[in-house]
Structure 1
Amino acid sequence: MKSKYRVAELIVRLMNGETLLQMDVLKQYDISKRTSQRDLADIRSAMSEYDAGEVVETDGTYCLSRQSEQLDFEMVLTVSNILLGSRSLEQDELTRTLDFLISQLSPAMQDLIHKQLKISRGGYVPLSKPTPLLNRLREVALCIAQNRKMVFVYRGSAKKYNKPQKHHAQPVAVFFEVHYFYVAMMSEEHGGYWLYRLDRIVDILETKKGEKLDYIKRFSLQDHRSQTYLLDSGDLTRIQFSYRYYEQTALDFFPRSRVVKYNEDGSVVIEAFAKVDGAVLWLLSQGEAVKVLAPQSLVERMKETLTNTRNQYLD
């Protein structure tokens, strides 16, 4: 068989979605391995020239991965790793979710992504007390879409809320942050917007018709993420602090923050607007790399907290 015809036939087979086994190709066309590799190079060149996809070679087989397949693979790989890193789902829900994402890919891409995720999936460490979340996410999302209020049992984190309490609230947004899903709700108990952790909703007792809330006064997720670190409490405050580590680390934890001064010792002065209770948690986590400069009330709070912490270690 002439080489041009052989290469054309191989291209057609690949375009039809066939996975070719190199040993079968050698036998069928009575060619050497070296000739097969030359054919493969010609095919790759033609595919690249016409932007028709990429020939993927794995364990003695090769198949055509179209550009859309490659993009799908990249998205599934990215989302899968984010999901694994979140640690938020129990093992069974994690497996079902990953399997669903991967099932959207071609067989060849599925094999490839299984290999890519093998270590990550094997090393998955869920939270200490993982809670089934998928069904609860669906229930809350439906309430948001249909403007419905919820009557639910909730277990708070503070000691006075150790026993589950009944709450009445209308959910307006569900989002994920640092291991947990949160639901922003217009709460009757709290007289305004309040954040509830999804995994602490013990049971939804009933749902009923809610209100179409004023969009201008609705909970702003953008503001929340710009102003809050871990705790959505405390006054919104303009703070300044010097930072000795990599400046981008601080800027990432305080969105919309900025460097206002570069010091001669290599540190920087950063200005941010944040809910002060959460800001304190982050500032304390940075140890001696941080020195709070303003406001003075925050300086005094840091001094008091650090002194109390030190006193716990004194005999």
Structure 2
Amino acid sequence: MVLATSHILLGSRALKQDELSDTLTFLSSGLPPAMQAELHQQLTIPRGSYVPLSTPKPLLKQLREMTMYIANNQKLVFMYHSSAPGQDYPIKHRAQPVAITFQTHYFYVVMLSEQHGGYWLYRLDRVVKILEAKKGDKLDYAERFSLQDYHHQTYLEDNGTLTRIQFIYRNYKGTALDALPDAHVLKEYADGSLLIEAYVKVGGAMFWLMSQGPGLKVVSPPSLVKRIRDELTAARDQYLE
């Protein structure tokens, strides 16, 4: 279990070198000395090959503090540095954190945001400074953000409207079902291709749909077919000059 967790941590690239070392040491500390030595040997190459993110920031203390804000139902006023185009400086936000999740290198904090008028995902490493923490609301569980729905409907980015889509898929079936957990096969054709249906946040799903190249063809809804056609045409046109 420690070996598996260590490899997952190394593959995440999420922590700074010192935090990574401290965490790996903590994970192995409960093992007998002989197993610790064996684990150290098994992780020598993966540990030496670790490549942190381009601008890693200390996260462990921040992760702990945010977890306590959630446990105590507190609202926050904080400075947040968005990745939106043209926003080169931190902006003040007001929101109540309700859950933490990890996906593709980053920790995200789900917050009930005043700025966005509902639940929004904030990247933990982009929370620059907490200005104020005060008593928040004890949110009804049935009305809280569902991490399960999020993981089923979102690929990489929580963006776009929930849409039922269908596409013909010619690559390995498991790749599609893993990337879009809500997906299911409607039909299998004689040539081995599949008609797959999924219920997704379109903005994020676009990243995966377009990454499949000629192995995937969206067939519905028509608005998504047009959107992908336009994106691919614009990409192709850059190479015609």
Q: TM (normalized to structure 2)? A: 0.98
Counterpart-to-counterpart distance in 2, 1:289 and 1:162: 38
> Using the alignment, how far apart are the partners of 1:222 and 1:254 within structure 2?
13
Which structure 2 residues correspond to residues 264-279 of structure 1 after superposition, within 5 A?
Answer: 264-279=190-205
Q: Which amino acid aligns with 1:115?
A: Q
Answer 1 or 2: which has greater helix percent. Answer: 1
Q: Tell me what 1:310 maps to.
A: 236
- In structure 2, the residue matched to 1:190 is 116
The code of the aligned residue for 2:223 comes to S
Q: For the residues of structure 2 that align with 1:116 and 1:309, how far apart are their CA atoms?
A: 44
1:110 corresponds to which letter in structure 2?
Q
1:257 aligns with 2:183: yes
Instruction: Find the counterpart in structure 2 of residue 158 from structure 1.
Output: 84
* Structure 1 consecutive aligned stretches of length 4 or more whose deviation exceeds 4 Å: none
The aligned counterpart of 1:237 is: 163
Per-residue CA deviation, residues 21-76 of structure 1 (Å, 9 max, x unaligned), is xxxxxxxxxxxxxxxxxxxxxxxxxxxxxxxxxxxxxxxxxxxxxxxxxxxxxx11
Residue number among 139, 144, 147 corresponding to 2:73 in the alignment: 147
Q: Residue deviations 1:256-277, cap 9 Å, x none?
A: 2111111122211111000011
Is structure 2 residue 94 aligned with structure 1 residue 168?
yes
Counterpart AA for 1:199: D
Q: Using the alignment, how far apart are the partners of 2:193 and 2:15 within structure 1?
A: 39
Q: CA deviation at 1:294?
A: 0.7
The corresponding residue for 2:212 is 286
Per-residue Cα deviation, 1:203-248 (whole angstroms, up to 9, x for no partner):
1122111110121110000000000011212111111111111110
Give the aligned partner of residue 84 of structure 1. 10
Structure 1 residue 161 displacement after superposition: 2.3
Which residue type is aligned with residue 84 of structure 2?
A
More displaced stretch, 219-228 vs 232-241: 232-241
Q: Which entry has the higher C-alpha Rg, 1 or 2?
A: 1
CA RMSD of aligned residues (A): 0.8
- Mapped to 2, the partners of 1:225 and 1:77 lie a distance apart of 25
Q: Which amino acid aligns with 1:224?
A: Y
> Which structure exhibits the higher relative contact order, with contacts defined as CA atoms closer than 8 Å and separated by 6 or more residues?
2
For the residue of structure 2 that corresponds to 1:194, the secondary structure is strand
Q: 2-side partners of 1:283 and 1:108: how far apart?
A: 47
Please give the alpha-carbon distance, in whole angstroms, between the structure 1 residues aligned to 2:87 and 2:99: 23
1:313 and 1:158 mapped to 2: Cα distance?
Answer: 27
Asked if 1:213 corresponds to 2:139, the answer is: yes
Paired-residue identity, %: 61
**Are 1:105 and 2:31 counterparts?**
yes
